[in-house]
Amino acid sequence: MRGQGHQETLLITRGYRPVRIVIFTLTDDPFEAPGIGGHGGSHVVMFDMGRHFVRAGAHVVFVTRRDRYGLNEHENIGVNCEIIRLKGGPASEVPYYDCGAYIDELIESAKTFPELGVEKIDRLVSYNWISGECVRRLYMNSGIPHIHCVLALGRVRLANGESQKKVSSFWQECELKVLTSADQIVTCSQNELAELTNLYPEIDPNRLRCIPLGVNTDVFGIRPLSSDHYLRRTTARFA
């Protein structure tokens, strides 16, 4: 008799080939260390999410922007994970809102990778409006389900007093197209969901989902001894 886990594996492997999930995360390279420059918590989220998908039996392709010289355009990370770094703009870190200017270049770069061909993809996930717009333009009418994760909402930023320079009309136009075309839109908090519902009446509320972000509780947990304990105080061993 099959256990529940086995049934789940069958569900996602769709025959003999693992489900191929392409995650567009153009502003957050999941393999960059957080805590420096523009790299923060969303990088860790992408990493953890991708790893969970791989462990669940899927094949994950991360698509990000090449923001540093010396990084490979395409790398295989294990059997079921690969990362593609698209050319678009300078090979250096730029503010995320400036990345929008390179959408055309990023799309052209994506077209050169056979791994991103329509026939190779089962599911598309995008993270923030720039990634969402690339996915929308690249895979319009392809029939591939597109799940868009909200990261920064232009109208919310404007309502919070951010300048028009940062939240450009281009951002707002693209964002609206993504939010109205994606099959599912995921927010990470009820607060974000409420903002989305209030400020974007154009969006079909049936396509909205709220799933929080998570942490790896194998790594983040209570340490075995009190931090006052001499062993922990006298050793510099971390992790």
Q: Does 94 bind other proteins (CB under 8 A)?
A: no
Find the shortest distance in angstroms from Cβ 157 to other proteins: 8
Find the shortest distance in angstroms from Cβ 73 to other proteins: 25
Measured CA to CA, the distance from residue 102 to residue 133 in angstroms comes to 11
Q: Does 34 bind other proteins (CB under 8 A)?
A: yes
Find the shortest distance in angstroms from Cβ 145 to other proteins: 7
Measured CA to CA, the distance from residue 99 to residue 31 in angstroms comes to 19
Measured CA to CA, the distance from residue 165 to residue 157 in angstroms comes to 11
Radius of gyration of the chain (CA): 20
Kind and range of the H or E run holding 146? strand 146-149
SS3 117: coil
- Residue 1 to residues 6, 15, 22, 38, 221, Cα–Cα distance (Å): 10, 19, 33, 50, 35
Q: Does 216 bind other proteins (CB under 8 A)?
A: yes
CA torsion, ordered 94, 95, 100, 103, to nearest 10 deg: 30
Q: Does 227 bind other proteins (CB under 8 A)?
A: yes
Residues 52-91 that bind other proteins (CB under 8 A): 52-53, 56, 58
Per-residue interface string for the shown chain with other proteins, residues 151-190, x marking contact by CB under 8 A? xx----x--x-----------------------x-x-xxx
Q: How many residues bind other proteins (CB under 8 A)?
A: 61
Which residues contact other proteins by CB under 8 A?
Answer: 11-12, 19, 21, 33-42, 44-45, 48-49, 52-53, 56, 58, 123, 125, 145, 147, 150-152, 157, 160, 184, 186, 188-192, 209-217, 219-223, 226-230, 232-233, 238-239
